[in-house]
A and B are shown apart, each in its own frame.
Chain A
Amino acid sequence: MKTYIVRRLLQMIPTLIGISIIIYAISALVPGDYITALNNPNMTQERADELRAIYGLDQPEYLRYFTWVKNMMLGNMGESFQHKKPVMEVVQDYVWNSFIIAFATLVLSWTIAVFTGVFSAKFQYSFFDKVITLIVFICMSLPSFFIGLLLIRIFALILGWFPVGGMVTAGSKAMGWDHIMDVLHHSFLPILVLTMLSTGSLTRYFRTSMLEVIRQDYIRTARAKGLKERTVIFKHALRNAMIPAITLLGFELPGLFAGAMITEQIFVWPGIGHIYLNAIHMRDYPFMLGFTMFLSVLTLLGNLLSDVLYGMADPRIRLK
């Protein structure tokens, strides 16, 4: 197992080099740079040239690539043009806010999806199954900005149960428990929207995978043994049905840190999503590339994690 992990980690190096070349090339081919994006009506050509020289934008593309890679290997992602501070500091400022709602959404949507998926499969084509399928499809197909605005209207404006947006009450000096409750209060609506969006596909996934397992011979054997139905379903069937889900879980890892651009924007959640999008609009290369690399590493680690978990969960798969 250890050698397997080490080997996989080593394999990540050429993959990362490939990724870095591709994302760098794409960003280099995109027209415009930070100076043009600023669109300052008073900027003279001399000043623009000087700024390009300060930022290193006057260098040829391939040289800029090597400088960037060299600095990254030394642990220096560069300084964000827009924020005028190191990229990792900007990421730190926002990414944990995104993580809070992404993690809560992950836990909630998986829990709900497992239960609804299992029951829909167990009672396939029943009334319950049909209702669940209907609800799931409605949630999946509604655009996030629409549900978001609808929920703001109902829960914040008409009922007044939840705040319109933000992460804490303005000017709040609350610490400890009060602070946690304040954040929970504010995060309820965004988490609700994100959970609604992501539970749908997961439910369908678990239902299908459960349906396959439930028809297999060993389930019949388990039932014939006289085991309780609950044990059959949750212990024998679910475990096997969940194995393909491990792959999904691995893919969720980068999603935890990537930020949900639209939902965060609607609820003014101070996440990294709109910072990232803004960096692309403004051609803030250091941040744009740095954060993309960060997500790439997480994706690769997520893949590795799901492979390793696969080996642990399923004895039929032996990792060498």
Chain B
Amino acid sequence: MRKKSWGLLVLLLVFSLVLGACSGGGGGNTATTTPGNEEGNKTESKGENATPPAEAAPEGVIEAVDMSLNPPAAVNRKDTLIVGMTDPKGVFNPLFRETTYDAYVCYVLFDSFIEVAADGTYTNSLAEKVDVSEDGLKYTYHLKPGVTFTDGKPMTVKDYYFTLKTLLDASYDGQSDPMSYNIVGAKEYHEGKAKEISGVKIIDDHTVEVSITEFSALTPVELGNIFILPEHYYGPSYKQGNLDGVKALNSKPLGSGQYKLTKYSPGQEVVFEANENYFRGAPKVKNVIFKTTTETTNLPMLQQGETDMDEGISVSEDNVEALKEMGFVDINLLPNNGYGYIAFNHKLKKFQDVKVRQALVYGLNRKEIVAGIYGPYADVINIPESTVSWAHTKENIETYDFDLEKAKQMLDEAGWKVGSSGIREKDGEKFKINFSATADNPVVDALLPIMTQNYKELGIEVVAETLDFNAIMDKANTGDFDMFFAAWGLTPDPDNTVYITNGAQNDIGYSNAKVDELMAKGKKTLDIEERKKIYKEMYQEMNKDVPVILLYQRKNMLAVNGRVEGFDFSPYKYFAYSLYQVEMQ
């Protein structure tokens, strides 16, 4: 196996050399963002129709101190707000967009029946009201009257129905999984056996009824948070089974949103103009531009007033200090919807003993690792849930503070005795961990030396092998690994398939009957207070059972020029949703 992976590594190297030779500029590839990590693909298709969370979001805002330092370039730009961010890919269709940055563009251009609120719950947006039948299998949406698309044509529920059709089409290759919504007649339409979706009934232009075969806690969001495409614009180029015509319009989108797109220059900027007829009132800022910035330019551009805010400045002590020095910037620190963890391969015998797993957490100085990477801007976590989620709990949660003696004792109890070579052994097997390390990952760079040192003291040998991200994901899928570091993104709803037996995303082979049962129960319960209890019990169980070594939840930062006011954002509600409320001085 080792030989094979070396072969792959060599091939990768050859490939990157070939490419490096073509690059002209020469050199490696340090300056790009790695996709596939927690930042690249935030998905927010799931959510929760519920009451506000028990604890308020611990948001840190560092206010601007001296607006007289504001650069003239920003002050003189009266009617245009410039937002700096990583460049979108140009997939400006809410059904097809994959990156977060394309999603931001879509939030500005399109609307849905219900929309996420700052606390992670959902409120009515285009819908005047939503009726749910008593058995939970019928959803009736009442569209607000007088909503128009930006070309002046009125919106009706037929447009919603059209959007559902494109989602359920056999050729749909976006990130949503509409077949899991369990809409009546979806399968027939998907397979091309029916021309219409039998479970959708259009009562009049403003009322539509959707029937489903099975409900879950996610259903309200799955059905209601679909961004509505105008049928008169996208419809003519759609034929059942072929979405190419719809996709061809990706760079020329038309919706009902706060702004309309006037210009898109790939890699440079997306230019918007206010939609004066927006159903929630005309936006206060006339023009908005999403300008491409990178890690090397986002701070200088903000400082020069070339941008008014930036979405992607990484949270480090240096960057926060630099922003504070500018004086005219409001720094918003928001907990990131995701967490970093170290996975065990539960198929290997050595990791099947819960004592060993607990010992590996006790024996790892997580605090030092996390502080080394993010300074004060990340917290060590002990359950796989965001601290701002309603499902988060601190009750009866073991914090696994660093304790080498305890770890040693637990390993002794588990039967792993220190052998003659100083390495622990059990049944003739030496305790050795092959760590698959991601190349160019700052977390792994900080983690490995500490882990190797800590575990050496425990009598465990750590051997690291450096691979690219996809290679590690491939190893995870095939089960060919001991340990690796990765990060998960979190949805507003706690339901996921990461820790359930044979779950789609459970590539670590974890299995715990109690977790399975509670996760299934939580998905089928609609009452939020009931769900809180269920997830509390589940997280307590996971906390004891240690499916992975949980590392940290870090913070994101939105740096906004002090002249911009009125944003309503949170870890769940991205800034793009509230652009229409924003004012500039």
Interface residues of A (CB under 8 A from B): 26-27, 29-32, 36-48, 51, 54-55, 82-85, 93-94, 97, 102, 143-145, 148-149, 152-153, 156-157, 160, 163-168, 170-171, 194, 197, 254-255, 258-271, 273-278, 280-283, 292, 295
Contacts and interface: CB of A to CB of B under 8 A. Distances in A.
A170 B82 contact: yes
Contacts of B31: 145, 261-262, 265-266
B58 interface: no
A200 to B, nearest CB: 12
Contacts of A148: 296
B23 A258 contact: yes
Contact of B36 (A97, A145, A259, A282): A282
A30 B22 contact: no
A55 B266 contact: no
Given A156-B304, A258-B22, A40 B35 contact: no
A37 B306 contact: no
Contacts of A46: 179
Interface in B236-281: 247-248, 250-251, 265-269, 271
B473 A37 contact: yes
A44 B180 contact: yes
Contacts of A45: 504
A264 to B, nearest CB: 7
Interface residues of B, number: 81
A30 B36 contact: no
Interface of B: 8, 11-12, 14-15, 19, 22-32, 34-37, 40-41, 43, 45-46, 80, 82, 87, 89-91, 96, 98, 171, 173, 175, 177, 179-180, 247-248, 250-251, 265-269, 271, 287, 289, 291-294, 296-297, 300-301, 303-304, 306-307, 468-471, 473-475, 477, 488-491, 496-498, 504-505
* Chain A interface, >50% SS class: helix
Contacts of A260: 23-25
B297 A266 contact: yes
B296 A149 contact: yes
A295 to B, nearest CB: 5
A59 B173 CA distance: 17
A283 B25 CA distance: 22
Contacts of A149: 296
Contact of A277 (B29, B297, B468): B29
A187 to B, nearest CB: 13
A31 B25 contact: no
Given A41-B489, A167-B268, A281 B469 contact: yes
B173 A171 contact: no
Given A82-B98, A97-B267, A265 B177 contact: no
17 contacts: A26-B14, A31-B471, A32-B471, A38-B98, A42-B43, A42-B491, A85-B251, A152-B296, A164-B300, A165-B296, A171-B80, A194-B24, A259-B24, A261-B31, A261-B32, A262-B30, A275-B267
A104 to B, nearest CB: 13
Contacts of A82: 89, 91, 98
- 3 closest A-B pairs by CB: A270-B267, A260-B25, A32-B470
